[in-house]
Amino acid sequence: MTPRFSPTPVPSVPLDLGAVRAQFPILETRVHGRPLAYLDNAASTQQPRQVIHAVSDYHQQYHANIHRGTYQLSRNATRMHDYAREVVAHFLHAAEPAECIFTRGTTEGINLVAASWGRANLAPGDEIILSALEHHSNIVPWQWAAEAAGARIRVIPVDEAGELQIDEYRRLLSPRTRLVAVNHVSNALGTINPIREIIDEAHAVGALALIDGAQWVAHGATDVQALDADFYVFSGHKLYGPTGIGVLYGKRSLLEAMPPYQGGGDMIEQVTFERTTYAQLPNKFEAGTPHIAGAVGLAAAIEWLQGIGFEHIVAHEQRLLQHATQRLCELPGLEIKGRARHKSALVSWILVDPPIGTLDIGMQLDLCGICIRTGHHCCQPLMDRMGIASTARASFGVYNDLDEIDRLAEAVAAIIAGAQSHPARTQDAPRPLAEGSRGAPVNADHYPLASAASPAAAAEEIAELFGLLPDWPMRHQQIMDLGERLPRMPDALKTEANFVPGCQSRVYMAARVRPDSNGVIEFLADSDAKIVRGLIALLQQLYSGQDAQAILAFDAPAFFTRLGLDEHLSMTRRNGLLAMVERIRRIAAQHGG
């Protein structure tokens, strides 16, 4: 097989969006009975038939372990893997394929550089510059590297628009700076960073630059040589390719000087028990059997993308961005986060008036078949800087159309209208669930009483009610209704000690043993997300006012599965729910369990 290099064609005809969409089988699916509007492309893009078939053909006709086989099948698989690397090198405009290391993704690429380059090059007093826009995967590995070496992390601040403050960056640079690691595009706000300038400034003080290209490579042409990037990383699954495959580009001289990252097969030249010498690039950094099918799929994705042409992609996605910004801006009480002059096709927002938690926005949009992302987007320092816990984010790919954006805007408008027409329901609506406290003002002395004889009996009642609701949208509505009726927790109880970590929204829980009781546990809890308030109401119904031993005997995870929560709540949310259960169980165990 001779590697084919198809130069990126200059498109002369407009993008045929219908033809592009037709290549994505998943776009034909329906969610909750509605056509899918997939607007979470910054998390992962969908895969066109060309990629799906390339991976499937590989498995059906070509699979064998690479490099070692004496037989034709293995030689062919090796050639396919080599070819994939050549496609990647051409795509990034690397000087040679050996500078492109296959990884599991962006995260692994950064960890590789931080561990390997960091170990060999960082010393006490050295500085690494990151930016306030970074994803956790471009923060945590550097914290480890800095800690191990006694080096220090400096952070480029971001302004109100979500742009990096380049003057501040210049002030941070010094002869102590060893490396600057920034993203090409912010996954939380969409800001396109001036990385050419950032790299040049880093080089001017003798520092290296690593660029996290996770959010760029599918949306614009990349030329690592023109950028003069020292390292550039990206993931296949944000580029219309498979998960579990990504690329670390590094300049040959740097990669050659770096110690290997992992030890194992394929990365060695010679092994004795006394000493090991290492293979040449790229194998030195690819220990063990690689994700061959992933590399094949990634190459197919790149070729597919090149077949469309970035000129088309950029024009189309900028139109989507403009339309989405305009439609969302029209909505009352919606505040867009991230107003950079150069933005990728991504809109982040919060609803402030009336305040509606991003989690609730995401779950309600899901019921309309619209997939967006809510949360901190793995950018907690940025959220802290903006003084918010999360945003709702719609991010676009080449297959999205204006109709999907209109559907999004209309659905968000309906969420706002729903909250406006029930202002009391989104704010305080003291209607305690449990009998004894009904009608009473809610304060620290009014914890809900037991709703049934035991948690198991309460669970039966809840399950019976949920059993009458035929589908998830109706069960979701039931949980939301419970959330609306949950009394607000007094602010005095929203203390640090009562904060429950591990939940995506802010959750507080004040649990205690009822005074003068024999181990009866009761609790109040609250959250800024209505869906979580609904889950809290369920927990209160199950647990509050119950005996500690009965609480410990109750199998909550099995009950949540029975209600269908496993299937419909994200992992983070399930973990949040379990964190609340854990807190109640801990108190029960301490007191009479």
Residue ranges binding ligand PMP (CB under 6 A)? 42, 105-107, 135, 137-138, 183, 187, 212, 214-215, 235, 378
Which residue carries 């920034």 as its tokens? Answer: 182
In the complex, minimum distance from the CB of residue 216 to ligand PMP, in angstroms, rounded to a whole number: 9
Structure letter (DSSP) for residue 435? G
Cα–Cα distance, 183 to 213 (Å, whole number): 6
Helix (H), strand (E) at residue 174: none
Cα–Cα distance, 477 to 468 (Å, whole number): 13
Helix (H), strand (E) at residue 70: none
Cα–Cα distance, 156 to 191 (Å, whole number): 14
Catalytic residue flag (residue 378): yes
Residue 266 tokens, joined: 């394929």
Query: Which residue of the set 100, 368, 378, 379 is catalytic?
Result: 378
Cα–Cα distance, 182 to 209 (Å, whole number): 8
In the complex, minimum distance from the CB of residue 381 to ligand PMP, in angstroms, rounded to a whole number: 13
Instruction: Write the DSSP assignment of 250-269 as a string of letters.
Output: E-HHHHHHSPPSS-STTSEE
For 85, other C-beta atoms within 10 Å of its C-beta total: 24
For ligand PMP, which is the closer residue by CB, 42 or 89?
42
Rounded (to 5) percent helix, strand, coil in the chain: 45, 15, 40
Contact 64, 71 (CB under 8 A): yes
Contact 191, 166 (CB under 8 A): no
Three-state SS sequence of 266-329: CCEEEECCCCEEECCCCHHHCCCCCCHHHHHHHHHHHHHHHHHCHHHHHHHHHHHHHHHHHHHH
Distances (CA, A) of 190 to 85, 183, 346, 487: 28, 11, 5, 38
In the complex, minimum distance from the CB of residue 248 to ligand PMP, in angstroms, rounded to a whole number: 11
For ligand PMP, which is the closer residue by CB, 116 or 215?
215
Cα–Cα distance, 145 to 122 (Å, whole number): 8
For ligand PMP, which is the closer residue by CB, 137 or 222?
137
Residue 519 tokens, joined: 């181990």
For ligand PMP, which is the closer residue by CB, 55 or 214?
214
Cα–Cα distance, 334 to 356 (Å, whole number): 10
Q: Which residues are catalytic?
A: 378
